[in-house]
Every structure is written in structure tokens, then in C-alpha cells.
Amino acid sequence: MKDLSQLDVKGRRVLVRVDLNVPLDGDVITDDGRIRASLPTIRDLAGRGAKVVACAHLGRPKGSPNPKYSLAPVARRLGELLGADVAFASDVVGESARGVVEGLQDGQVALLENLRFEPGEESKDDAQRAEFARKLADLAELYVGDGFGAVHRKHASVYDVPGLLPHAAGGLITTEVDVLRRLTEDPARPYAVVLGGAKVSDKLGVIANLLTKVDRLIVGGGMAYTFLKAQGFEVGRSLLQEDQLDKVRGFLQEAAERGVELVLPVDVLAATHFAEDAEYEVVDATAIPADREGLDIGPRTRELFAAKLADAKTVFWNGPMGVFEFEEFSGGTRAVAEALIGSEAFTVVGGGDSAAAVRRLGLPEDGFSHISTGGGASLEYLEGKTLPGLAALEA
């Protein structure tokens, strides 16, 4: 796919699809990591004299305007980070958008309102999506795709618009793709993958594909209890996906057949209930009391996981080891993160909750080789799927 350097942007209107889907508390941004990740491409274009028209989604407003999901706070934060005013359009392709874009001077930046306020953005109807894409494309002369967190979606702004304008990939997407190729095509070994988070079902495809590539699969978080149950152990009131037990038993068998080392928790913090101040005790992972639920991996597991990561040359991590939002149950996630920071391996944090945990726990982002901005997109790439947004940029 073409990169930014191959576009002549001076004096031209460039529509840039970025990922600004940040968490909000009211109109306060609680984590601006995705905004900061978009800055290099926006700065590059503005610095070369483009009239930059940024577009993005926020949340799930379901095809109609909703003040709760307005990008206005994001426009303010983007302007602060750029050190320059960002013109904000109060609609997506309407009168405000056209006026804002027409008023741009070379090197200036505008942001359109939430793309998902328009039903055509996410429509499954090709004609409706194409009609909205044409309206978006009419605002610009060139297109740059840089919203990696959305490239696994067949949405108008990532899939249809590139077919209507000369296009290129932004720096964030080219970096993400380079990193993911390094994880899939010829990783340095031993290659370890750490998976956590709540549900096995969210990661079925990636587990199936990774079992053919990795040397060691380390499983923590809520999904670990389904693995433990599949081995015949009781897990009390811990998170459990009964309907995935047969699938997980298949993974256990395949891992054994392929010689993949599958590492599960040996102890957990078993709490009386799901709460930040819940009482808990450290118990063996094979002996979780019936009236307790595991909310984090225990101290022996933290040491075990760190030891299993110590000799790795490549590590991909996606998903927290426990309820990291609760201080008492954040230790497992911190332990894995610190093991990676202390490692000499090529370490990739697979976006989503893992990236949020790194920032929430105050850990140095530069302690990892790469922190992805797209959890779902990263996982689908590692599953071996074709991502619509990347296919469109390659066309």
C-alpha cells in the first residue's frame, strides 16, 4: 500500500480517517492515548501544507446524533496537543462540515462530528453506505487511512471512501502492519503469547491460529477459568463460559499435540463478590471455593508467568490478568506488564484493555516495543482474517 510520502498534499484537502474513540466521563477525556497516536500523521500532513479534514467515530450512537457521543471534547484536546486551533464541524457531511472545510487554509486542521451520527457509516446496505461515502469524499481531494482501530470494520469511512479518492496509509497503520507481520511471518523464538480478558469466545479465532505459530501460550484473566473448568477443576462463582468448554478442550488437546506449552494460573485471588473492597484469599487455582470468584491471578502465578516470559524473544500480550480497574486486583496485570518491560524481547501490547491498563497503572509506554491502538483489529489480523480497511488501502 502507498504511504504518506507518496502523496502530494500541499494546498489540497486531505480526508484523514483517524481513531479517536476515547473514553469519556461526561465531556472529560479519561485516556487520550488514541488522540496522541494520531498526531504524527496529522502533523506530517499539516506540516506539508495540506488542508487536513480529520474524521472519526466515538462510541455507538447507532446512526443518529447524540450529544453524549459528540467529538467536541476531542477537537479541543486535539487542538491542545497540536498547539493550534482545530476547527470543529457540528455535523458530518452537512452545511457545517462544508463550511468548515471551505474555510481551511494550508496547514490547518478540522475535525468532523462523529461519523456514526450518520446511518450510512455502518450500514450493511452497500448502496446506503456508498451514498454516504460519496458525500464524505466530496469534502476532499485525497484520502489517508490511519484509524487502525477501525480497519476490521466494513464501514464507509474505512472501506468505501478509499475507492473514490487517491489514497495512502498513514504512519500509524503502516507501523501497525509492520509489527503484526513481524508477529506472524517470522517471529524470533521462543515466541510467547499472553491472553487475558473476560471471555474465551472473544479470542477463539486468534487462539486457533496462534496454536500453529507460538511456542508458549499463557492464559490469565477471566478466560482462564473456562480453561481450568475444561481440565476438570471447579471454579466457584468465577467467570465461566460453559458453552465454550468443548472448544477449550480441543485447544488443550491441540496444544499438547503441537508441543505448545500452555501455561495456566496456579493460584488466584478468590473474592467474596465482585467489588473493589471485596474480601479475598489466595487459593490454589484447582481449589477455588464454591462461594468465591477469582478476580486476579495470585502471587505464585505472577512469578510463574514472569518466569515463562523471561527467555522469550517475541511476546504478544492482549487482555488483563484480572480486574485491573480495582487496585486490589491489579497486581497480576502489573506483574505481566513489568515482566515485559524488563524483557529484551520484541514486546507488543495488543491494544484495548491491555493498553488502557498500561496507562492506568502508570507504567512507561516506551517500556514496550509497540502498543497497538486497535485491540479488535490486531486480533483479527492475528487470526489471519482479511481486514476490509487494509484491503481498501492496498487497492
Annotated binding site for (2R)-3-phosphoglycerate: 34, 116, 153
Can you say which residues are annotated as belonging to the binding site for ATP? 203, 294, 325, 351-354
C-alpha 243/C-alpha 249 separation (Å) is 12
Q: Which of 34, 216, 302, 334 is flagged as catalytic? A: 34
In terms of Cβ atoms closer than 10 Å to its own Cβ (0-12, 13-18, 19+), residue 127 is exposed
β-partners of residue 194 are 218, 317
Q: Give me the sheet containing 142-145, strands edge to edge.
A: 86-88, 109-111, 51-55, 13-17, 142-145, 167-169
Name, in order, each residue with C-beta under 8 angstroms of 95's C-beta and a sequence gap of 6 or more. Answer: none
Q: Which of 199, 359, 360, 385 is flagged as catalytic? A: 199
Full 3-state SS string of 122-148: HCCCHHHHHHHHHHHHCCCCEEEECCH
Can you say which residues are annotated as belonging to the binding site? 19-21, 34, 57-60, 116, 153, 203, 294, 325, 351-354
259 catalytic? Reply is no
In sequence order, what DSSP letters do the residues of 221-239 get, joined into one string? STTHHHHHHHTT---TTS-
The amino acid sitting at 202 is D
Residue 203 is given by DSSP the state G
Residues 75-110 as b or e (16 or more Cβ within 10 Å = b): bbbbbebbeeebbbbbbbbeebbeebbeebeebbbb
Q: Is 70 left (phi over 0), alpha (psi -120 to 50) or beta?
A: beta
Q: Taking a C-beta distance cutoff of 8 angstroms, is the pair 274, 267 a contact?
A: no
Phi, psi of 172 (to 5 degrees): -65, -45
199 catalytic? Reply is yes
Residue 278 is given by DSSP the state -
43 catalytic? Reply is no
In terms of Cβ atoms closer than 10 Å to its own Cβ (0-12, 13-18, 19+), residue 64 is exposed
- Please name the residue that has the C-alpha cell 500500500: 1
C-alpha 152/C-alpha 143 separation (Å) is 18
Instruction: For residue 119, say if its preceding peptide bond is cis, omega within 30 degrees of 0.
Output: no
34 catalytic? Reply is yes
Question: 171-184 and 33-47 helices cross at what angle (nearest 10)?
Answer: 120
How would you classify the pairing of strands 28-29 and 24-25? antiparallel
Q: Which of 236, 332, 352, 374 is flagged as catalytic? A: 352
- The catalytic residues are 34, 199, 352, 376
